Amino acid sequence: MVQNPIVNASRATISGGSEDKAAPTSKRPCLCCAKGYRVIRPKQRFCSSRCRLLFWAAREIVREYEAGNVAGLREMLERLKH
């Protein structure tokens, strides 16, 4: 009988598999909020999609500012506040 694998993200295992073969999990600080989170994928850098998007948006604003493309940036930021 073939069993459909079900991922158990909290333990990084797949049902029906040996826990000895599970990838070791570790904790790492989020690059955006600095809270610790459990790493599920090796390249994971953020604890949530929200932090990933906030980090991206902040980086893009800084790039535009450093490039001298600030025309309209102040107005855009004011609209975001409301």
Q: 0.75 cut: is pTM over it? A: no
Evaluate whether residue 14 is within a structural domain: yes
CA distances from 13 to 25, 26, 31, 43, 45 (A): 10, 14, 26, 18, 20
Quick one: pLDDT at residue 19? 45
What is the domain count for the chain? 1
Q: What is the pLDDT of residue 8?
A: 52
What are residue 22's phi and psi, to 5 degrees?
Answer: -65, 145
Higher pLDDT among residues 55 and 1, named by residue: 55
Q: Is residue 2 part of a domain?
A: no
User: Quick check: is 1 in a domain?
Assistant: no
* DSSP-assigned letter for residue 10: T
pLDDT in tens, 7-46: 555 555 555 544 444 455 689 999 999 999 999 999 999 9
Range of the domain at 44: 7-81
